[in-house]
Amino acid sequence: MRDENQLHAAVVELVAMDDASIKYSTVQNWYPGDEEGRGGIYNFVTKRGACRGARSKISWTQVETGSAITWKYPSCILQGEGSVGEFYSVAVTNNCQQADTGTKMIHLGRNTRSTIIAKTISAGRSDSTYRGLVRVQPKASGARNFTQCDSLLIGDRCGAHTVPYIECRNMAARVEHEATTSKISEDQLFYCRQRGLSEEDAVGLIVNGFCRDVLKELPMEFAVEAQKLLQISLEGSVG
């Protein structure tokens, strides 16, 4: 039994020049510690990207299921005119895990666009936080951002937190933020079980449905793995 914590620190930097686009996908399932929160990885990661060129694009997709504590904020500096930043994230926490993750979208150039879709699922006694910054600088006329944060709670001892920072310094920019929090309802579980699904399969199905908008951004072989991983991470979280 591991009763110590290990540190995973990594740095990823992306640079996109004129008309280039980069898609960076991660599925992370480091050891999360035991049910009582003993052991596990501290996953403190720096990920940042610069869209230097005109019409360049950087798209981050992540599925975070592991680690005792995750701090991770993949960011995009949108410098080139008409450049695009995207962040698609699923974070699942169970038992005593903590995930604090989000993104930074910094709009410098004109007509830059960013999209943020973050889904968090919390179970057990875990806490999951979306923390993100959208900053529009004075020269970023015509900048647009759309942010959607959805939280799903399983059980009554977990937490979901959404902390959006929005700094807009340009009158001609448009920034939107939507957030929802929901629970898997008894009605949904019973409906699935009446159709023959086990309780765990029912949770897996509902959670995968909840994450669909993000999972569809993953490459095919990743998506299949991520779906299974979601279900495994939530094993024993209901009933």
Partner 1 sequence: MSQFLEISGLNARIDADGQEKQILRGVDLSIPPGEVHVIMGPNGSGKSTLSYVLAGRDDYEVTSGSVQFQGQDLLAMEPEERAAAGLFLAFQSPVELPGVNNANFLRTAINAVRRARGQEELDAVAFLKLAREAAKTLSMAPDMLKRNVNVGFSGGEKKRNEVLQMTLLQPTFAILDETDSGLDVDALRVVAEGVNRLRAPTFSALVITHHQKLLDYLVPDRIHVMAKGRIILSGGPELARQIDQEGYAKFLSEAA
- Binding residue for partner 1, selected from 17, 139, 165, 198, defined by CB under 8 A: 198
- In whole angstroms, how close is the CB of 25 to partner 1 at the nearest point? 20
The conformation of residue 44, written as its DSSP 8-state character, comes to E
Q: At what angle do helices 220-233 and 199-210 cross, to 10 degrees?
A: 130
Q: Is 193 near partner 1 (CB under 8 A)? A: yes
Residue 13 lies near partner 1 (rule: CB under 8 A): no
Is 194 among the residues that bind partner 1 (CB under 8 A)?
yes
Q: Please name the residues in contact with 224: beta carbons below 8 A apart, sequence gap of 6 or more.
A: none
Q: Which is nearer to partner 1, 209 or 219 (CB)?
A: 209
The string over 19-46, giving b where at least 16 C-beta atoms fall within 10 Å of a residue's C-beta and e elsewhere, is ebeeeebbbbbbebbeeebebbbbbebe
77: contact with partner 1 by CB under 8 A: no
| Least distance in angstroms from the C-beta of 182 to partner 1 | 9
Instruction: Report the residue number, 170 or 208, with the smaller CB distance to partner 1.
Output: 208
List the one residue from 191, 219, 224, 228 that touches partner 1 (CB under 8 A): 191
Distance from C-alpha of 43 to C-alpha of 30, rounded to nearest angstrom: 8
Residues in the chain: 239
Q: Does the footprint of partner 1 cover residue 2 (CB under 8 A)? A: no
Subset of residues 131 to 190 that bind partner 1, contact rule: CB under 8 A: 185-188, 190
Q: Pick from 63, 91, 105, 211 the residue near partner 1 by CB under 8 A.
A: 211
C-alpha to C-alpha distance for 104 and 106, rounded to whole angstroms: 6
Smallest separation, CB 221 to partner 1 (Å)? 18
Cα–Cα nearest to 2, from 37, 27, 39, 36: 39
Question: Using the rule CB under 8 A, is 226 a contact of partner 1?
Answer: no
CB of 192 to partner 1, least distance (A): 8
Report helix, strand or coil for 188: helix
Degrees, nearest 5: CA angle 28-48-71: 45
**Interface with partner 1 by CB under 8 A: which residues?**
185-188, 190-199, 201, 205-206, 208-213
